[in-house]
Amino acid sequence: MTAFSLEPAQLAWCAALRTLAAERLRPLAGKGEPGHVNRTLVAELGSLGLLGRLFTSGALDLCLMRESLAYACTEAETALALQGLGAHPVHAYGTREQRARWLPRVTAGAAIAAFALSEPGAGSDAAALELRAEPDAARGNRPSAATALTATPEGVARWRLTGEKCWISNAPEADFYTVFARTTPAAGARGVTAFLVPADRPGLTGRGLDMLSPHPIGALDFDAVPVTADDVLGEVDRGFRVAMGTLNLFRPSVGAFAVGMAQAALDATLAHTAGRDAFGGKLRDLQAVSHQVAEMALRTEAARLMVHAAASAYDADSPDVPQRSAMAKLLATETAQYVVDTAVQLHGARALQRGHLLEHLYREVRAPRVYEGASEVQRGIIAKELYARQEAR
């Protein structure tokens, strides 16, 4: 396989996924309650074997799945991606016991996973996490649960998590959370630990948030939630590696999600402009329209190629994965925003009507430019990698 094309078998699989999403997954998505986890949809993803592929195939395969599902059913794409994001740290960094307990249920669609990184005061600056782990002796002076999350020692290899996480997908309905908490104060990225926290731990509560696009997303409150060494993912004080390792895999696939939406918007625009009568001909006959459609196609294909290149680099264990992942997410999400917005413009008022494909995509396309590292963060990563490479020469 070259860097610029897919094998016929891969193309056929993508086509089959688009059909599957349209015929089997979209009807289930339509029956879900906005703003809540659609467990029936997740279970169907499991029965189709798609959740299992999250842990048995590479980054390119993940990108092909996400793009194909996004093209026909964004709800199914998002449900699959969130299972992967929340459970990948368990797959990659968990103990044998942790993996045995949770991964079979995740792949079957029977357990809902969540990735709990962001806090009210630590979104783009993930290294600024303050969710604390406190000893029982300090509980009398503990800040309220509305503060950033920390982890303070409670004897040997025991902590109490105190604070808040915010904008967590699948919260508060997930069955377990990959939680990142500060175990060493004022240590930046070197003092964060990743914990696997089941949702039924005492002191853990949450609430849903009402967002522009009604996804299951919420805030979590940790009121001295107990965790032990058995709950640690990876190593103590090395949780930032867990977070970045997960994001380096999933950032290109966020780009694939965006490409899927862009392609859906482009195809809808091609059909609309080819059939719409205007000014004595079809919309496509107007140069101002046809040139915009050409630009939409150009940018979509460029983004797709960059996503595939970044995923291939990850699968090859290339040293420039952070830069390529950042580039792929940045270009693809910004491109999708442009393509969907242009599609709305060329469709006119009908695209703004509730229930129209483009009305749906217009709400869906905005968030990927923010989550898993905002566009500005991606530019910072790219620049940092470029200058580091220059200094190493």
Buried residues in 30-59 as b, exposed as e (16+ CB within 10 A): eebeebebbeebbbbbbebebbbbbbeeeb
Q: How far is CA 140 from CA 137, 224, 230, in A?
A: 7, 11, 26
Count of Cβ atoms closer than 10 Å to residue 130 Cβ: 21
391 is written with which tokens?
């200094």
Centroid of chain to Cα 353: 27
**Which of these, 165, 17, 372, lies nearest to 6 by C-alpha position?**
17
Residue 268, CA distances (Å) to 29, 85, 341 in order: 20, 30, 13
111/175 Cα distance (integer angstroms): 6
Q: How far apart are CA 90 and CA 85, in angstroms?
A: 10
| Six-digit token string for 278 | 């205007």
Nearest to 340 by CA among 194, 213, 203: 213
* Nearest in space to 171 (alpha carbons), one of 150, 213, 129, 199: 199
**Calpha distance 62→77 (Å, rounded):** 11
- Would you call 121 exposed, middle or buried from its count of C-beta atoms within 10 A (0-12, 13-18, 19+)? middle
Catalytic positions are 372
- Going by C-alpha positions, the residue among 12, 5, 6, 36 that lies closest to residue 209 is 36
d(CA 20, CA 25): 7
**Beta-ladder partners of 198:** 176
Distances (CA, A) of 240 to 128, 231, 251, 351, 367: 11, 16, 16, 42, 23
Torsion of CA 237, 243, 249, 255, to 10 degrees: -160
